[in-house]
């Protein structure tokens, strides 16, 4: 099993245990990021269900962008100097997620109004974890 498949499996397992989509993706990377899982779980709780009501960005994609920030940021509070490179990674994550899932907004993915589900939550979680691994860690 490759790294992307492993992270997708970790995220899927967490989602099956009841983590929301953002929590499942971010928490799958806890060890790799050196952040305790409870902190990631708490920090990403409000990103689930399309940021609380399906109107915002998919939680799984948001969780992948949280991973990008934690992995790439220099954490330099005096001179925030890593924003541009983190934004570039997040852009690749969101663009790729949208291309492969069919949308990035939760309501669109779930077919609200259109009646056709583009990508179910379990697939969104698997996809976002795979993309995060490939764009954040494998691309280095």
Instruction: Give, for all 140 residues of the chain, the pLDDT tens digit.
Output: 799 999 999 999 999 999 999 999 999 999 999 999 999 999 999 999 998 888 899 999 999 999 999 999 999 999 999 999 999 999 999 999 999 999 999 999 999 988 899 999 999 999 999 999 999 999 87
- DSSP, collapsed to helix, strand or coil, labels residue 105 as strand
Cα 63 from Cα 51, distance rounded (Å): 11
Surface-to-core class of residue 56, CB atoms within 10 Å of its CB (0-12 exposed, 13-18 middle, 19+ buried): middle
Q: Which residues of 7-30 are buried (b: 16+ CB within 10 A; e: fewer)?
A: bbebbbebbeeebbbbbbbbbbbb
Q: pTM of the prediction? A: 0.96
Measured in Å, how far apart are the chain's first and last C-alpha atoms?
20
Per-domain residue ranges for the chain?
3-138
DSSP state of 14: H
CB atoms within 10 A of CB 139: 9
Cα 72 from Cα 83, distance rounded (Å): 9
């Amino acid at each position: 099993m490759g790294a992307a498949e492993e992270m997708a499996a970790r995220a899927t397992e967490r989602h099956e245990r009841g983590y929301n989509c953002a929590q499942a993706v971010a928490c799958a990377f806890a060890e790799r990021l050196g952040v305790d899982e409870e902190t990631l779980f708490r920090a990403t709780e409000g990103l689930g269900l399309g940021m609380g009501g399906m109107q915002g960005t998919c939680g799984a994609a948001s969780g992948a962008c949280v991973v990008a920030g934690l992995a790439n940021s220099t954490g330099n509070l005096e001179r925030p100097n890593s924003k541009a490179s983190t934004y570039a990674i997040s852009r690749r994550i969101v663009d790729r997620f949208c291309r492969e899932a069919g949308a990035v907004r939760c309501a669109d993915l779930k077919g609200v109004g259109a009646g056709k589900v583009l990508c179910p939550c379990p697939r969104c979680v698997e996809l976002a974890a795979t993309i995060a691994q490939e764009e954040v860690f494998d691309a280095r």
